[in-house]
Amino acid sequence: MSKTLIIAEKPSVAQDIVRALTPVAGKFEKHAEHFENDAYVVTSAVGHLVEIKAPEEYDVKRGKWSFAHLPVVPPHFDLAPIDKAKTRLNAVVKLVKRKDVTALINACDAGREGELIFRLIVQYADTGKTPLNKPIQRLWLQSMTPQAIREGFERLRSDQQMLGLADAARSRSEADWLVGINGTRAMTAFNSRDGGFFLTTVGRVQTPTLSIVVEREEKIRKHVARDYWEIKAGFQASAGDYEGKWFDPKFKKDETDADRRADRLWDEKQANAIADAVLGKTGTVTEEAKPSNQSSPLLYDLTTLQREANGRFGFSAKTTLSIAQALYEKHKVLTYPRTDSRALPEDYLGTVKQTFEMISKEDLPGPLRELSAHAKKGLKEGYVKPIKRVFDNSKVSDHFAIIPTLQAPKSLTEVEAKLYDMVVKRFLAVFYPPAEYLVTTRITQIEGHHFQTNGKVLVNPGWLAVYGKEAQDEDANLVPVQPNEQVTNEHVEVNALKTRPPARYNEATLLSAMEGAGKLIDDDELRAAMHEKGLGTPATRAAIIEGLIMEKYMIREGRDLIPTAKAFQLMTLLRGLDVEDLTKPELTGNWEYQLAEMEHGRLSRDAFMKEIAKMAERIVRKAKEYDRDTIPGDYATLQQRCPQCGGIVKENYRRFTCTGADGASEGCGFSITKIPGGRSFELHEVEAFLRDKKIGPLEGFRSKAGWPFTAELKLVHDDEIANWKLEFDFGDDAKGGEGDGEPVDFSGQASLGACPKCKGHVYEHGSNYVCEHAVGAHVTCDFKTGKIILTQPVSHEQLNKLLSGGKTDLLEGFVSNRTKRKFKAFLVWDAKEGKVGFEFEPRGAKAPAAKKTAGAAKKVAAKKTAAAEE
């Protein structure tokens, strides 16, 4: 009997489909990787199972990147299984190839990525001698209620209807690959021409995002503080005292000067003259009171949730996503979080009422218990109704807004409870009536000068009650005045202030900038194409930010995101090579416009990809043909003088160079690279290096093959060139520790703990922590461990825990040499092996696997303790 295979994007959706089809298609039997009845086989991917890759002959390994191998524009793309998803892929492919499976239904998420996930799986499966040749239909769902799923099956779309979307999905994926690979390899090759391997990544989304941060930092650096004055005055009315601030009623906004405001004065004499004129005088009061309503903010999409969680709790975008994912997958208490929609499907009213009932009746843990009263009130007062700002199919994209499910949480961690509380409060509040205020604007005129006082009285809290705001804040109350009442000035303050530069981006504000990047585009059509898209997707924005930090383009300082010297160098390079379009959101806008045209059959995939290939070739050509010594840019003059002649040291694109006593000549020949070992000097670092003649240990260097390492740098005088030069200093690492070294004096250091091998004292030495008996003239011990291990700094506190208790806290900054992915682990002392190794967090218990042989068990054990003495 022939059957139809339904492939969903996620296991949870596969289960929803099975539940919806059971009443009309019969009971399903559950298997390890799928569900099956007489008519259907239902399975799922777990997101992307397959990725595109260049054919083998085009695959140039890292460390051999050069212009000789560029551009890389393969005639077609091969497919490769994603490592962590191989088991799932094999199971799905096996079902696709089953002889009794005669038709396929794509039930992946409704959108471009869902289309691509399905198409790549089918393409990967269709590699046998006999073509699959199985008809395909599309299930297009925006709501996951059983009725909506059944209705979706009644109006399946044909494969022909989906070809435009499929072409757009493939084209976006391949275009990102072509621009990312060619751009990254070309910029890396350009920056590595003086030797070493200076990895310089670029991408259609990451580079414009970085550009936003760099441009803000440039404004901050160029900001010149300007003095201005504000005047505040106190007035006595018959009912009491109040304050007002001077303002100019004739003020008009100046587009060329953002610092100008109605309440700012730029002349101290004028400010003092106004203060003298009104002091002790009597004036007249007029005021206007208007009722004002404020509706609850809309439901959360992922970006809004990340933004607010960053502002409230300091969570990074990545942390918020991982918590939301756990609430969705593990606890099943939130709907799918990777969404860009803030609305619900129009048929979801019944589900919303059921969710209100769950919240009102369930005994929720801790502070969440207080929400039940608000849910009860919402049901009793009939607040849950089909409001257009909540229920709107036109504003539901691949997924709908993040809301609580019908599953009540049982045991949440503190951070999970915080995020769940945010979502539930927003879900309840959006159905509550608006908050009602009485907004009062009071103008006090005295001696021809105007002072403004604002008051806002909460009349009815409405949705604010859900957030615990039932009454007006005390400081918002204004003493009443009579119409045209005469009031007396009691005191005047003239405050001298300075303009401030714009604030640095933090994750919340950068997410907003990425989300609204379309607003930065002048072209109307391109801006429309990026409407509600911005840079990246809700699912990828956190990864983009983390990637920029991992590649050392940005650092976190508190909550601020600060671009590094490497970021400024990249922007200088792209501008200098005239490939600045890589830094602008117009690139994404243009792509989105063309991909939308392709979806509607108005642009061919072939024409689009030819233009992308030309762009990749142009980027490579610009970098390859650039023949000048330096790139024009806004470069620094260092405070520290040349160590050779005392001349002025200036920065250019590649080096810090002596320019003589006048700062305009060839100087004495002293010059050091800006990027030793593929790592960019920060300005404060090079200043310290010239001052102290050494710095480090620093992490982030890369070998010629591209592998990361940690080292100290020193500035040494070379008699052969009669000048100073930069050298790497690996301390005793390079000497091998044979025991013939000079005695080492540790008298100026406090011991960091007892050596786990010989009980001697452990101290800092070069880039390592070492036993006092492992260095010097008479070596009797070999204990040492890195101060930085796989990019993770090991603090004195953590080393002390390792030495005293055999184990550090869980450290989260390790980066695998092999995969370049971040991971977290404990550092542990392995007494049996006699070295420091890793121990990973225990995973959730799994079903017992088949018995391993003794040899296999040894291999598993060996993998769990990796040497950490690098």
- Condensed to tens digits (0 to 9), the pLDDT of residues 433-481 reads 999 988 999 999 999 999 999 988 888 899 999 998 765 554 456 888 8
* Confidence at residue 845, expressed as pLDDT on a 0 to 100 scale: 41
User: Does pLDDT of 869 surpass 50?
Assistant: no
- Would the pTM of this model clear 0.75, i.e. be above it? no
Q: With bands split at pLDDT 50, 70 and 90, how would you rate the model's confidence at 732? A: very low
User: Does pLDDT of 733 surpass 60?
Assistant: no
Largest CA distance in the chain: 98
Q: In the beta sheet, which residues pair with residue 711?
A: 698
- Between 820 and 136, name the one with better pLDDT: 136
Q: With bands split at pLDDT 50, 70 and 90, how would you rate the model's confidence at 515? A: confident
Q: With bands split at pLDDT 50, 70 and 90, how would you rate the model's confidence at 381? A: very high
- When pLDDT is averaged across residues 52-65 and rounded to a whole number, the result is 73
Q: With bands split at pLDDT 50, 70 and 90, how would you rate the model's confidence at 737? A: very low
Q: Is residue 343 within 8 Å of 392, Cβ to Cβ?
A: yes
- Alpha carbon distance 261, 245 (integer Å): 12
Would you name the residues annotated as active-site residues?
A: 336
- When pLDDT is averaged across residues 251-273 and rounded to a whole number, the result is 92
User: Does pLDDT of 849 surpass 60?
Assistant: no
Q: With bands split at pLDDT 50, 70 and 90, how would you rate the model's confidence at 866? A: very low
HSE-CB for 136 with a 13 A CA cutoff: 20
User: Does pLDDT of 142 surpass 70?
Assistant: no
- Between 737 and 648, name the one with better pLDDT: 648
The per-residue pLDDT for range 303-340, each reduced to its tens digit, is: 899 999 998 998 988 899 999 988 887 888 888 888 88
- Amino acid letter at 688? A
Kindly state the tokens that stand for 152: 């979706």
User: Does pLDDT of 736 surpass 50?
Assistant: no
Q: With bands split at pLDDT 50, 70 and 90, how would you rate the model's confidence at 271? A: very high
- Alpha carbon distance 683, 105 (integer Å): 58
Which are the contacts of 791, defined by CB distance < 8 A and separation ≥ 6?
699, 700, 708, 813, 814, 815
Kindly state the tokens that stand for 675: 């990027």
- When pLDDT is averaged across residues 796-814 and rounded to a whole number, the result is 90
DSSP character at residue 381: T
* Confidence at residue 54, expressed as pLDDT on a 0 to 100 scale: 85
Q: With bands split at pLDDT 50, 70 and 90, how would you rate the model's confidence at 202? A: very high
The answer to whether the Cα torsion of 506, 511, 514, 516 is positive or negative is negative
User: Does pLDDT of 356 surpass 90?
Assistant: yes
The per-residue pLDDT for range 586-599, each reduced to its tens digit, is: 788 788 888 888 98
- Alpha carbon distance 784, 834 (integer Å): 10
Q: Is residue 139 within 8 Å of 13, Cβ to Cβ?
A: no
* Confidence at residue 526, expressed as pLDDT on a 0 to 100 scale: 54
* Confidence at residue 478, expressed as pLDDT on a 0 to 100 scale: 83
Q: Is residue 668 within 8 Å of 723, Cβ to Cβ?
A: yes
- Alpha carbon distance 281, 451 (integer Å): 13
486-507 in b/e burial notation, b at 16+ Cβ within 10 A?
ebebeebebeeeeeeeeebbbb
- Alpha carbon distance 427, 580 (integer Å): 43
- When pLDDT is averaged across residues 121-149 and rounded to a whole number, the result is 85
Helices H / strands E in the chain, number of each: 21, 32
* Confidence at residue 28, expressed as pLDDT on a 0 to 100 scale: 95
For 447: left if phi > 0, alpha if psi spans -120 to 50, otherwise beta; the answer is: left
Kindly state the tokens that stand for 411: 């045991």
Q: With bands split at pLDDT 50, 70 and 90, how would you rate the model's confidence at 834? A: confident
* Confidence at residue 818, expressed as pLDDT on a 0 to 100 scale: 57
> Can the peptide bond before residue 345 be classed as cis, meaning omega within 30 degrees of 0?
no
User: Does pLDDT of 273 surpass 70?
Assistant: yes
Q: Is residue 199 within 8 Å of 678, Cβ to Cβ?
A: yes
Which are the contacts of 485, defined by CB distance < 8 A and separation ≥ 6?
237, 238, 284, 285
The per-residue pLDDT for range 625-671, each reduced to its tens digit, is: 887 777 888 888 999 999 999 999 999 988 899 999 998 888 899 99
Q: Is residue 776 within 8 Å of 737, Cβ to Cβ?
A: no
- Alpha carbon distance 436, 458 (integer Å): 6
The answer to whether the Cα torsion of 704, 706, 710, 714 is positive or negative is positive
Q: With bands split at pLDDT 50, 70 and 90, how would you rate the model's confidence at 705? A: low
* Confidence at residue 835, expressed as pLDDT on a 0 to 100 scale: 83
**Torsion angle, alpha carbons of 706, 708, 711, 713, to 10:** 40
First and final C-alpha spacing in the chain: 60
* Confidence at residue 88, expressed as pLDDT on a 0 to 100 scale: 93
Would you tell me how many other CB atoms lie within 10 Å of the CB of residue 286? 13
Q: With bands split at pLDDT 50, 70 and 90, how would you rate the model's confidence at 533? A: low
User: Does pLDDT of 868 surpass 70?
Assistant: no
The pLDDT mean for the chain works out to 86
* Confidence at residue 738, expressed as pLDDT on a 0 to 100 scale: 38
